[in-house]
Amino acid sequence: MTDPSKTDANNDKVTHFGYQQVPWREKQQKVAGVFRSVAGRYDVMNDLISMGSHRLLKRMTIELAGVRPGQRVLDLAGGTGDLAIKFSRLVGDTGEVVLADINDAMLAVGRDRLIDAGCGHNTRVAQVNGECLPFADNSFDCVTIAFGLRNITDKDAALASMLRVLKPGGRLLVLEFSKPVNPLLGKAYDTYSFAVWPRLGKLVVNDAESYQYLAESIRMHPDQDTLKAMMDKAGYGRTEYFNMIGGIVALHRGFKL
């Protein structure tokens, strides 16, 4: 699947927000509104809509990240800090984890969780735009982005920015919804996500629209091979991906060579 961004008759660049076409410059604000709406119960909803599987997927991401004591990790679009807490314990007192997100409401929840988990000594939070990261070149051993890349307007710019801040030999891990490899599984997943997620959103956070957007945004995200090709084009080496839950989710990994 290719990014459907295009130019309209007025030469005003547009992109997708779920199934809607919106001005390129407006998507970031619309996505921010989604996450401000759900930030307070984000983890509860993740458990409900994934039936708890997101925790296993994140654990596999951590294992494949190969983070060691003393390293620096950037957890981009890190939300409520699930990965950052685990990485904090892996890097130890001599390492550092930066929990970064563009959304202030999500960062506030994540910062509180880091403190509650006793991770304040080797972590910090930063409100950043993934398309233009405000960090020095070659400053992180590992960059992760879990269920966040599909919400970024300019994915190519984000991949390039993440590569820039990685140290030589460093790795990027992208955990994201993808395309089921079995058509029957795909149909069942479509039915479940479009019929159930908005209803859960209405019941739990009084917001069906945000979870309708979630279901739609997944279908607009590049599939496994397309995202791998985007990483190759951005300059990553040894790129690969691992299908999870039959391809409903995929973990992509690439290195700065």
* 129 marked among binding-site residues: yes
Contact present, 163 and 256 (Cβ < 8 Å): yes
Contact present, 143 and 66 (Cβ < 8 Å): no
C-alpha distances (whole Å) from 154 to each of 30, 88, 136, 149, 190 are: 15, 29, 20, 9, 26
Q: How many CA atoms lie within 13 A of 51 on its CB side?
A: 5
* 80 marked among binding-site residues: yes
| CB-neighbour burial class of residue 151 (10 A; exposed 0-12, middle 13-18, buried 19+) | buried
* 110 marked among binding-site residues: no
Residue 239: count of CB within 10 angstroms of its CB: 17
* 11 marked among binding-site residues: no
Give CA–CA dist 205/225, Å, rounded. 34
Greatest C-alpha distance within the chain? 55
Q: Cα 227–232–238 angle (5° rounding)?
A: 105
Give binding residues as ranges: 80, 101, 129-130
Give binding residues for S-adenosyl-L-methionine as ranges: 80, 101, 129-130
